[in-house]
Structures are given as structure tokens and as C-alpha cells.
Amino acid sequence: MKWPQGWREVLLSDVIESAQPGFAQRPGEEDEGSTPQIRTHNVSPDGRITLEGIKHVTVAEGDLERYRLISGDVVFNNTNSEEWVGKTAVFDQDAGVFVYSNHMTRIRVRRELLLPEFLATYLHFLWSAGYARNRAKRWVSQAAIDVPTLLKFKLPLPPLPEQQRIVEVLREADLRRFQDAADRAEKLRQALVASALSRKLTPTWRKNDESQKWRELLLSEVIESVQPGFAQRPGEEDEGSTPQIRTHNVTPEGRISLHGIKHVRVAEGDFERYRLLPGDVIFNNTNSEEWVGKTAIFDQIDGVFVYSNHMTRIRVRQNLLLPEFLATYLHFLWAAGYARNRAKRWVSQAAIDVPTLMKFKVLLPPLAEQQHIVDLLRQVDGRVFADAIDQGTRLQSALITEALSGRLTAAWREQHAQALTEAARERDTRLGVPAPKVTVQFTEHAPAERRTDLARPRRQALIEQLSSFQHEVWNTLRFEWRGAVLADDPAAFEEFCTSPQTAWRLEGFAAGREEVRRALEQLAAMGLIRKMSLPRLDPNTGRTEYLTAFRPLREAEDGTRAEEDTALADAERLARELERRRAPEAH
């Protein structure tokens, strides 16, 4: 692309000081710490930091400064589903101490060359244009942009005064105050929902008629059918023609959104089984802990839609229950944390299978009162705000496109030509000097050698037998992953092998997934890591399957390594037994 006079195209690596991925919380310690951690959902689709659903984690001693966010840092979402990877925002929280997860990369700019607000706007623009998605490495349901790839992103570099002008113009067009108004309206609506479902909204309407009693029934008693959806075959993502409702298409407000809708192939004969009709209730059966249980009423009249295996379609007995009332009630249970508490959990995921869902208790007013409650809530529906914000977002997107092409500031540029020429000259002089090497820290937190009941020389002898590749796989599991890796789960194992947090150790070996798996098996056989089986529930069948996993060996509170001692002793005994059995064959 031809840039305006005075602009220059550079690599991201030329204009930043550092790019640092964050850290993952250890399994079992989710939300048990005191330090807020920015995660993928804390960068909104419009490129802002939001503290909704913020998690609190435990930060290891000495790691706080390494992973701390300060105002002006650019936060880039390095790992997510394909449609969300690459979201970017400027961290703008001045109060408190925040850190960030391994799915985010913190970028600190060379401020004599680049404004963080300009960089965040440009990177988020690349996400909205699909560029980040195209540059990402993909696997089942996930995509990632590692630091080496990110550093090769090209960006336009106007002189600093023009960057400042662009940032100021876009700030004037910021929709935040409208979004804040929409948030307040949504909170009011949620308060009304809580009042309605606690029977406080309609006492006057009931006129204290005792015949208008509410009943409490199981969900199974008031529905006609319940049907989980289907997963798209790997390699056929977004290659079909039928729109499929997925987890991100149910908003936190409990509405259907077609933003980022995927299109899939539907096998012959499956259309009727998985088709959505207006009035169907859509329940999110599998998601992260904070989102599982979101619910919405399907309200699309035009077109044929289906839904994914992470969603469950509910059709009600309409002589007992209005679908709008049920969707409101189930979404209220999600907002209140009830769904999360009923979900079955595993690494980074939670699920509510059909048998569990069928046991949910539902408050059942008479049909006329259900209709009255639905009508009252419809009057405070935030969709008017949402539609206005959607329109404003489209206009804002067009404005950003004009700004980042230089067309928005063309007249301003002519009026300030001399100052911009001097600023461009100063910028080029700085760029002409060899740029300081970008800092990408990957520090091993190797624990100090502790006392043990097994002689350390034996352990050292085993370690010396490891190949370079085995050693790096071992270190990846101990220092970067810091927990159990599910080798039988393709998505989880792919993340272990390729995520920015771990892949830097293994990149130089050009090893495939099978080689990594084989190395883990060998390390377990030597007694250096633990091999185990973990249960996982299939939300569609309700069956429990057992997956092979590997984890580092644990240390005791006093620093001893009893588990390691046992594992190494077992491996040594096994080796002696195999040697004993071979001995007769030699004769």
C-alpha cells in the first residue's frame, strides 16, 4: 500500500521495547488468589479493557514485576478461537496491581517512535479485518500467534504528532459513554428480572389471588424435547453454507448475536434434527466456567440455522411454559452462578450434560403471569441500545479505516507540513540507529535442589542420559506448562506443543506431536514425570471417558521429593527386573 507523505512502513519489532507472554494459573488454583489477571474475555470486541468476570490468581514470588501491567501497556490476545485471536487493547487501569494470562502478550512501545494507543488501534484493526486470523497457527477450535510471528507484523508509522492527532480524533468518536449507558440499562433489566423471579414485580397484577400460585417443577416436566447440537468435522471449519449458532453467538445479556457467525456443512437428513426455529431456547452446555449456562431465545425469522455441540436446544410444553420466560429464568441462573456450581469441570472447561440440566428446578407462574412478566421485561430490553451501538460501531470502523490510511488527516497534514517534516526526520534518524533488541523473556523458575531420601547422583545420571529434545520436553512440562497435559485431548495437547507459552522450547527440533508424546512416555518410564488417567465427561452422551495425562512430580511442603523418590525407585526396580529376565536368554 502507498502511504501518505511522511509515513513509513516498519516491522513491529522495530518500534517496541518488549513483547512478553503472560502465565497460566496452576490447575486447581483458579480464582483462589488475590491479584486480578487479565484474560481473553477482558479484551472486548471493540478493543477495550473490561473488568467483567475478572479472575484473581496467585502470583509466584518474584513474578509480579515480570508479569505486571502498567497503564499504557498494549495487551494482545495471542491465543483464542479463530474469530477472536488478535483482539487488542491499551491497558488503562491506574488503580491496583494487575497481571495477565499466557493467552495474552504484553507489548511495550518505544515511545519516542510510537504511541501505545495508535499501536493498539492498528492491531485491533488488523484483527477486525481478518489479518490476525490469517497469520495464526491453527488447531482444533484454537488459533495462536506466537511472539516471532507477531514481531513480523508490518504497520504504518506516521510522525508522532500525526499519530497523536489520529488518536485524539478517534477518542472523540469513542462509543464508551453509549456502552456505559447500555451497561446501566442492562443492570436495571437484570434487577427487574431478579424482582420478577422473586415474585415482587407482579403482586399488584395478581391482586393477591391465591389461585395464582407459583409452582416449582423440574425442567424435565415442562419441556417437549432437549437436543444437543453437532460438532463440525476438523478441517471443515466455516466451509459450508448453513449458519451455526455457537457459544459466542449467545451474548452475556442473553440475546442471539450473529457477529462472527460460522457456516458449516450439514449432513443429509440432519437438517430437521438440528434446525433452530423461532422460539427455541438455546442453552450453552460447554464453555469456560464463567460462561457455561448462558441462555437465549432464538429469534431469527429468516434463514435456516443449526447449532453446535456446545449448545443444547430446548423446546417447551407451551401449555405450561413460555419459551421467553424459560430463557430469562435459565439466563438468570447463569448470572447468579447457579449453572457454574452445577457444572462438571476439567482443565479450562466446564459442562452441564442433559441429565443434569433436566434436574434444574424451574419456578412456574401461571401462563398469564409469565406473559405479563415477559411483556414488562420487553419494555426495558437493551436491544435498542445494542442496535444503536452496532450502527455506531460500523461508523466508527469506517472512521478508523480512514484514519489508518491517512485520508482522515490529509487536510490537517497540509496545515502542519513543516512540523511533520521535522518530526519525520527525527523519527527516521532514530530508526536509522540499530534498534535495541526486543526483549522476550522466558525465564526458567528452577527450584533449588532440596534434600531427598534418594541419592541425587542417580537422578543426575538419568538426566544425563536424556537427549536434548527429551530434556526440553521435560522442562516445558515443569516450568512452562506447570500442570497436567492431556495427551489424549487433541486441542489440549496441541496447545502444549504450539502455544506461545511453551513452543519456544521445542521450535528448533521440528518435532511432530507423536515425537512429543513419545518423549513424555519415555520420561514417565524413567520416573521423571508422572503418567496418569483423568476422567472427562462427554456432554452429549453423558459417558465418562478416561484420558492419558502427564504431569510434573510434586514436592512436599518441607521440600522433600517423596513422589520423585518413589518414581525413580520404581523405574530402577523395573530396569533390574528386565535385566534379570534377559539374563537367562544370554545363556
Q: Is residue 231 domain-shared with residue 322, that is, in the same domain?
A: yes
Q: Is residue 206 part of a domain?
A: no
Place 446 in a pLDDT band, splitting at 50, 70 and 90.
Answer: very low
pLDDT of residue 443 exceeding 50, the answer is no
Q: What is the pLDDT of residue 585?
A: 44
Cell of 147: 511472539
3-state secondary structure 241-292: CEEEECHHHECCCCCECCCCCEEECCCCCCHHHHCECCCCEEEECEECCCCC
Assessment of whether the complete model's pTM goes beyond 0.85: no
Q: What is the mean pLDDT of residues 47-62?
A: 88
Q: Is residue 304 domain-shared with residue 407, that is, in the same domain?
A: no
Q: Is residue 466 domain-shared with residue 428, that is, in the same domain?
A: no
Q: What is the pLDDT of residue 567?
A: 63
Place 586 in a pLDDT band, splitting at 50, 70 and 90.
Answer: very low
Q: Is residue 446 part of a domain?
A: no
Out of 330, 364, 398, pick the residue that ends a domain. 364
Distance, CA of 473 to CA of 520 (rounded, Å): 7
Q: Is residue 527 part of a domain?
A: yes
pLDDT of residue 5 exceeding 80, the answer is yes
Q: Is residue 205 part of a domain?
A: no
Q: Is residue 355 domain-shared with residue 474, that is, in the same domain?
A: no
Place 70 in a pLDDT band, splitting at 50, 70 and 90.
Answer: very high
pLDDT digits over 312-369, tens only?
999 999 999 999 999 999 999 998 889 989 998 876 678 999 999 999 999 899 998 8
Q: What is the pLDDT of residue 469?
A: 81
Kindly report each contact of residues 137-142 with a partner whose C-beta sits within 8 Å and lies 24 or more positions away, as own/partner. Answer: 137/498, 138/82, 139/490, 139/491, 139/494, 139/495, 139/498, 140/234, 140/490, 140/491, 140/494, 141/81, 141/491, 142/79, 142/80, 142/81, 142/82, 142/491, 142/494, 142/495
pLDDT of residue 252 exceeding 80, the answer is yes
Q: Measuring CA to CA, which residue among 456, 573, 582, 469 is closest to residue 526?
A: 573
Mean pLDDT of the chain: 82
Q: Is residue 108 part of a domain?
A: yes
Contacts of 210 (CB under 8 A, 6+ apart): none
Distance, CA of 284 to CA of 272 (rounded, Å): 20
Q: Is residue 460 domain-shared with residue 428, that is, in the same domain?
A: no
Angle between helices 513-525 and 468-475 (to 10 degrees): 80
Q: What is the mean pLDDT of residues 551-555?
A: 79
CA angle 480/482/484 to nearest 5° reads 125
Domain of 566: which CATH number? 1.10.10
Range of the domain at 501: 456-586
Q: Is residue 203 part of a domain?
A: no
Place 558 in a pLDDT band, splitting at 50, 70 and 90.
Answer: low
pLDDT digits over 129-185, tens only?
888 888 898 776 678 999 999 999 999 999 999 999 999 988 887 766 666 766 777
Q: Is residue 560 domain-shared with residue 463, that is, in the same domain?
A: yes
pLDDT of residue 271 exceeding 60, the answer is yes
| Percent of the chain topping pLDDT 70 | 77
Q: Is residue 343 domain-shared with residue 269, that is, in the same domain?
A: yes
Cell of 549: 495425562
Q: Is residue 160 domain-shared with residue 12, that is, in the same domain?
A: yes
Q: Is residue 36 part of a domain?
A: yes
Domain of 233: which CATH number? 3.90.220.20
Distance, CA of 487 to CA of 493 (rounded, Å): 5
Q: What is the pLDDT of residue 56?
A: 92
pLDDT of residue 448 exceeding 50, the answer is no
Count structural domains, the chain: 3
Q: Is residue 392 domain-shared with residue 494, that is, in the same domain?
A: no
Q: What is the mean pLDDT of residues 274-294?
A: 92
Q: What is the pLDDT of residue 493?
A: 81
Q: What is the pLDDT of residue 152?
A: 93
Amino acid (1-letter code) at residue 586: A
Q: Is residue 17 domain-shared with residue 160, that is, in the same domain?
A: yes
Q: Is residue 468 domain-shared with residue 357, that is, in the same domain?
A: no
Q: Is residue 524 domain-shared with residue 428, that is, in the same domain?
A: no
Q: Is residue 449 part of a domain?
A: no
